[in-house]
Amino acid sequence: MASRFLDSPVPRYLQLADLFRQRIARGTWPLGHRLPSLEELAAQFDVARVTVRQAIELLAREELVSRQQGRGTFVTGNPGRGRFISVVGSLAELARGYEDTQPKIINIEENVASPPLADGEGTPAPRYAFMRRLHARDGQAYCVINIYLDERIFKLAPAAFRKKTVIPLLTAMKGVTIAKARQVLTIGTADLEVAKLLDLPIGAPVAEVRRIFTDAQGTVVYLAEVTYRGDAVLVDMDLKP
């Protein structure tokens, strides 16, 4: 564990607090649970006792734990951020998942050349509209998304695409056919910009999704590079016996 801390510019006590927060959120440390002593935690994570104390003090300010004189430190709250982004298996489910989010435009640029496509992902459209957005729910930012939308489609409803989430609009548009939709999820870490936008420590786990829609001719009409907070994503899959 120590080497993991050393490889990150984030202070150790913040990383440790995040690990403790995850234990509480996952139920490893349920409500009422008595935390191990400072000495036990310091030995477990190979850090100084003062580092553990700073992490515990941070959680106490967040009202997740409470110190009781002579008894120890107990879990008294929960981070309360539900995992509401599910990895879904259909385009309709994906569109529904974005219906109640509030996008905030960070950057928008029309008449952009081809997006960063890899071999086999599809044929680029002549031009694209590029949008960088921050999506939030209940006031909490949960993902940053770079979108490349076929400019011919963008021009069909530019005002709507600037204000609303793209996928529900795209799937409801008459005359626009999505013949193939694919997304790939990988696990990464938050860089400086993403950490600031999503209110995360630098190096915190994030889920990175690359999403591509093509039409019947194989033209890429939509490409998105999405970075989600790791604590907002749930992967739940049925496995064939």
Report the 3 state secondary structure along 134-180: EEEECCEEEEEEEEEEEHHHHCCCHHHHHHCCHHHHHHHCCCCCCCE
Closest CA to 182 of 222, 232, 150, 144: 222
Q: Return residue ranges of the chain for CATH 3.40.1410.10.
A: 85-234
Q: Return residue ranges of the chain for CATH 1.10.10.10.
A: 2-75
Query: Does position 2 have pLDDT exceeding 50, yes or no?
Result: no
CA Rg value for the chain: 22
Cα distance between residue 157 and residue 45, in whole Å: 54
Query: CA-CA distances (angstroms) from residue 147 to 119, 197, 236?
Result: 19, 17, 26
Cα distance between residue 12 and residue 16, in whole Å: 6
Cα distance between residue 134 and residue 196, in whole Å: 11
Q: What is the pLDDT of residues 81-93, one digit of tens each?
A: 555 566 666 777 7
Q: What b-and-e string marks burial along 93-130, b requiring 16 or more CB atoms within 10 Å of the CB? A: ebbebbeebebeeeeeeeeeeebeeeeebbebbebbbb
Neighbours of 171 (CB within 10 A): 17
How is residue 8 written in tokens? 């990150």
How is residue 203 written in tokens? 């190096």
Q: What is the pLDDT of residues 189-236, one digit of tens each?
A: 888 899 899 988 788 888 999 999 999 999 999 999 999 988 777 776
Q: What is the pLDDT of residues 83-132, one digit of tens each?
A: 556 666 677 777 776 666 668 888 888 888 778 898 999 999 999 999 99
- Kindly give, in sequence order, each residue whose CB lies less than 8 Å from that of residue 205, ignoring residues fewer than 6 positions away: 187, 188, 189, 190, 230
Look up the CATH number of domain 85-234: 3.40.1410.10
How is residue 175 written in tokens? 């005359």
Q: Angle of helix 49-61 relative to helix 12-26, nearest 10 degrees?
A: 60
Look up the CATH number of domain 2-75: 1.10.10.10
pTM for this entry: 0.68
